[in-house]
A and B are shown apart, each in its own frame.
Chain A
Amino acid sequence: MDVHRTLDAVWKLESAKIVAALTRMVHDVGLAEELAQEALVSALEQWTESGVPGNPAAWLTAVAKRRAVDHIRRSRLRDRTHEHLARELDRPPGDERDEQDEQGDILRLMFLACHPILEPPARVALTLKLLGGLTNAEIARAFLVAEPVVARRIADAKRVLADRRVPFALPEPAELAGRLSSVLEVIYLIFNEGYSATAGDDLLRPGLCLEALRLGRMLAELAPREAEVHGLVALMEIQASRTAARTGPSGEPVQLHEQNRGRWDRLLIRRGFTSMLRAREAGGTPGPYLLQAAIAVCHAQARTAEETDWKQIATLYEALARLLPTPVVQLNRAVALGMAYGPRAGLELADSLAADPALRDYHLLPSVRGDLLLRLGRRREARLEFERAASLTRNAAERAFLRRRAGEIADGPAGGATLGEAVRGFLGRDDLDPQTIRSYGQTLRRLCRGLGEELPLGEVTAERVSRVFAAAWGTAAARTWNRHRSAVRSFGAWAGLGDLAAGLERRAAARTEAVAVSPGLLDALSGVSPRERVMWRLLHDSAAPVTAVLALNVEDLDLERRQARVGKVRVRWSAETGRLLAALVAGRRRGPLFLSDRRPAPARRTAQADLCAETGRRRLSYERAEYLFKQATKPLDPAGRGYTLRQLRPRP
Chain B
Amino acid sequence: MRYLMMAKGGDQPDERLYAEMARFIEETTAAGILLATGGLEPRATHVVSAGDEITVTDGPFTEAKEAVAGFALVEVRSKEEAIELARRFRRIVGDGESIIQRVFEP
Contacts and interface: CB of A to CB of B under 8 A. Distances in A.
Interface of A: 1-2, 5-6, 8-10, 12-13, 54-57, 103, 207, 210, 213-218, 221-222, 243-244, 263-265, 267, 271, 570
A13 B84 contact: yes
A188 to B, nearest CB: 15
B81 A12 contact: yes
A529 to B, nearest CB: 31
A265 B105 contact: yes
A472 B1 CA distance: 52
B38 to A, nearest CB: 13
Contacts, number: 65
A648 to B, nearest CB: 19
A10 B73 CA distance: 19
B30 interface: yes
A55 B33 contact: no
B31 A217 contact: yes
Given A10-B84, A244-B106, A214 B78 contact: no
B91 A217 contact: no
Contact of B33 (A5, A214, A267): A214
Nearest to A14: B84
A271 B35 CA distance: 8
B35 A8 contact: no
A243 B104 CA distance: 13
Contacts of A9: 76-78, 80-81, 83-84
A186 to B, nearest CB: 15
A217 B28 CA distance: 10
A93 to B, nearest CB: 12
Contact of B81 (A13, A218, A267, A271): A13
Contacts of A264: 106
Most buried by B among A2, A9, A215: A9
B78 A8 contact: yes
B45 interface: no
B103 to A, nearest CB: 10
B30 A221 contact: yes
Nearest to B33: A214
B99 interface: no
Interface in B35-51: 35-36
Contact of A213 (B29, B30, B32, B81): B32
Contacts of B84: 6, 9-10, 13, 56-57
A103 B31 CA distance: 11
B88 interface: yes
A62 to B, nearest CB: 16
Contacts of B97: none
Nearest to A211: B77
A207 B76 CA distance: 10
Top 9 A-B pairs, shortest CB-CB distance: A217-B32, A9-B80, A214-B32, A221-B30, A9-B81, A5-B80, A9-B84, A244-B106, A265-B106
A596 B64 CA distance: 64
* Most chain A Cβ neighbours within 10 Å, of B81, B83, B85: B81
Given A6-B80, A8-B78, A8-B80, A218 B88 contact: no
A210 B77 CA distance: 8
A632 to B, nearest CB: 30
A8 B78 CA distance: 9
Nearest to A138: B77
5 contacts: A5-B78, A207-B77, A213-B32, A213-B75, A218-B30
A210 B106 CA distance: 16
Given A6-B80, A9-B80, A13-B84, A218 B105 contact: no
A263 B29 CA distance: 25
Interface string B37-74: 00000000000000010000000000000000000010
B71 to A, nearest CB: 13
A215 B80 contact: no
A267 B31 contact: no
Contacts of A214: 31-33, 75
Contacts of B32: 213-218
